[in-house]
Structure 1
Amino acid sequence: MDRNSTYHESTTSICPQCSERVPAKIIIKNKSIFLEKYCKKHGIQEELLEEDAEYYLDRRKYDKPGTISTTQTKINKGCPFDCGLCPNHDQHTCIALIEITNNCNLKCPVCYANGGKGKFLSLNRISEMLDFYVESEGGEAEILQISGGEPT
């Protein structure tokens, strides 16, 4: 951290070169927000998180602490290799996404789903997925996004 930056908070991150967990700081510099990481092997690395520090700090007032912690996966290799709702993350599903079909017309200018000719989920399968989501959230799910097959 240089003299032109202000410390905001500490966190943990991942070194982009070796994928090791590393200590990190969120700093304010030149009216922007940066993540400053320190890796013993690769030194200090800095990544831009938000160009507008005022916007970033204002949005943080809407952060909501987690209400429940759920796990869907077991710890095998540890971060960042066991992505998912593992016991290390002490988190729950923030936004569940059900892709009801991966069948599309392939005319989207940008495709986030790698769509193509595919299949549709049955109503029974969608119902099972919804039940699993609600159960894993302790009986009360917060946000569900339904996606797939959007026309262009």
Structure 2
Amino acid sequence: MAVNDLASADLKLLGSAKVAVSNTDWNNFDFGDPNDIHLPDTAYAHSDKVLVVFTATTSGSGDLVSFSVQDAPDDDGIGTPAAAATDGTLTELGPGDAHAHTFVRVQSGRPWLRCRVSKVGTADSFTATAKVYAVGSGV
């Protein structure tokens, strides 16, 4: 079996979203109904790690972007999010194009995930993407 076959069996895309960031300070990524990711409704398994990969592209070179991941309890939905437990550097990236990734520690009773991009400055417009993966133990 090829190495790629082994890795792709344990790497599952849970959601992918793209957003334009121009005159606003921040935008939430919309992964489709219900906008945020509810882990029990995806291919996520309890033993998986969650990896989020962010990109922001621009033709400008003045503004900075930051990314964040929030989680929320199931009984309240994503209406009461808080910063999720993550690793990696996600703040004030750039100027210009930005790329970041982070693992998310899924917390008990907080199965909702929201991803956000924020912009510092008024010179540039960005197109930002977020891809959320479940990473199995075989990767």
- TM-score band w.r.t. shorter chain: under 0.3
Relative to its length, the structure with more helix (as a share) is 1
More strand by share: 2
The normalised TM-score by structure 1 is 0.24
Greater RCO structure (CA 8 Å; 6+ sep): 2
Give the TM-score normalised by the residue count of structure 2.
0.25
Structure with larger Rg: 1
